[in-house]
Homo-oligomer: A and B are copies of this chain.
Amino acid sequence: MEDKAIQTVKVGICGLGTVGSGVLKILSSNADIIASRAMKIEVARVAEKDFARAKDLLDRAGLSSVPISVDWHELVNDENIDIIVEVIGGVKVAKDIITAALQAGKSVVTANKDLMAACGGEMLHLAEENHTDLFFEASVAGGIPVIQAVKESLSGNRILQVMGIVNGTTNYILSNMAEKGSSFKAALKEAQELGYAEADPTNDVEGYDAARKIAILASIVFNSRVNDSMVATEGITNISSWDIAYAKEFGYVIKMVGIARCDDQSIEVRVHPLMISKDHPLASVRDSYNAVFVEGDAVEKTMFYGRGAGSLPTGSAIVGDIINAARNINHNCKSRWGCTCYKNLPIKPLAETISKYFVRLNVCDRPGVFAAITNILSEESVSMATVMQKRRTGGGEAEIVLITHLTPHAAIEKAISRIVDLDCVFAATSIIRVEDNEE
């Protein structure tokens, strides 16, 4: 036991918002077990614009003596601080803080998915140049320890794919629609009332938030930098109760997933709604929970499940990183894991990606429509797995629902654009990818 816990490691926390206050609470209430398991972690200083809020939070955490700075420079310039925790969010100021902290040789822990998805490579290289650590477990899927899992535990694997439910808001909305029969609008409203969705829900419901997380994961597992701007996104605003009902009938559940795959030549990475088999491990991830499904050539199928957001769950990931960083400081082995992007793979164009598709068409209720549609699909080499002429919707209209076999995105797009040009077809109401060869 002689070489353990010889040093108190000092932490400066930038930002005492939702996540920062969670970090403070955990470091304070679990100080005893953290000290016994690893070493004493001391909050040396906090930076927070809202001084009164900071004072109140520190008092409530029993940390009244911790000095408060309104200016983050005071933390980065404090020679006594070993680790800077950046939890202010956003890109610009956060990048300034992290850059300055790394350049000062401090270890950095961040929850900042926006920054890591936009300039993770730059930040990680800066950490390496300064022989220090940059940890970002909390940037993906909140409290779920998936970054360490894919970066360390699974590092003997060639990773085949990652599929993640990495946005709790949209999972809450889709679960609500599936279980209570709510409309998208009603489910969104409920999510807003519960604080799961923001007043402007664009980032969540259009898949931009999930794109950042899948970009970070893809960069790690495929060892090639993927920024969020490279991720094709499609949101869930068009998912209707009918889609959910059909999904159920076919044995599927609709989830919004981030998908990343690699064939060693290029990376596929995108966010969209997906019909997955009800027996897939992701299918039973309900409510606002997150889960990341990872398939490797050795480990086979794994999944990591938990809270993707929230003050304490995200704080848990931050504190885990702080302890990890503190151990590296204590054992003089900072920069033990740096950036692992040693390849530079291109992103596969969306048009070339292959999927099964669920298609719902609003058509004229008359003979010959079906033949016209199947002719086009055949000409575009889109092969059908299932077809249902489901229901007469009244007023001379009907609905045709079909599921294709595996088809390039370009082919389905072309086929659908030709189909909706038919006089007898009013609209393609839904086009949703389907994944069902998983168990």
Contacts and interface: CB of A to CB of B under 8 A. Distances in A.
Given A1-B128, A37-B340, A153-B145, A306 B316 contact: no
Given A152-B320, A307-B300, A223 B284 contact: no
Given A145-B148, A299-B306, A305-B305, 5 more contacts: A26-B156, A298-B319, A299-B316, A300-B310, A302-B305
- Which 8 interchain pairs have the tightest Cβ spacing? A156-B319, A145-B153, A333-B333, A302-B306, A298-B316, A299-B316, A331-B333, A143-B299
A327 B316 contact: no
Copies of this chain in the oligomer:
2
Interface of A: 1, 3-4, 22, 26-27, 29-30, 33-34, 36-38, 128, 131, 137, 143-145, 148-149, 152-158, 223, 279, 281, 283-287, 289, 296-307, 310, 312-313, 315-320, 322-324, 327-328, 331-333, 335-338, 340, 342-343, 439
B298 A342 contact: no
Contact of A30 (B289, B297, B319): B297
Given A36-B342, A338-B1, A298 B143 contact: yes
Contacts of A153: 137, 145, 148-149, 317, 320
A145 B154 contact: yes
28 contacts: A26-B157, A27-B156, A36-B340, A37-B340, A143-B298, A143-B300, A145-B149, A145-B154, A148-B148, A148-B153, A153-B320, A156-B319, A157-B319, A281-B285, A281-B305, A287-B439, A296-B316, A298-B315, A298-B316, A299-B307, A299-B317, A301-B306, A303-B303, A303-B306, A327-B336, A328-B333, A331-B335, A333-B336
A226 to B, nearest CB: 16
Contact of A286 (B149, B152, B279, B322): B279
Nearest to A1: B128
B307 A301 contact: yes
Contacts of A131: 3
User: Chain A contact residues: over half helix, strand or loop, or mixed?
Assistant: mixed
Given A298-B312, A299-B313, A316-B299, A34 B327 contact: no
Nearest to A37: B340
Nearest to A302: B306
A143 B313 CA distance: 24
Contacts of A36: 223, 340, 342-343
A408 B34 CA distance: 33
Give the interface centre of A34, A322, A342, A439 by most chain B CB atoms within 10 Å. A342
A336 B331 contact: yes
Contacts of A439: 287
Contact of A152 (B148, B157, B285, B300): B148
A36 B331 CA distance: 24
A148 B304 CA distance: 13
A30 B156 contact: yes
Contacts of A223: 33, 36-37
Contacts of A154: 145, 316, 320
B38 A155 contact: yes
A26 to B, nearest CB: 5
Contact of A327 (B322, B323, B332, B337): B337
A143 B295 CA distance: 11
Nearest to A335: B3
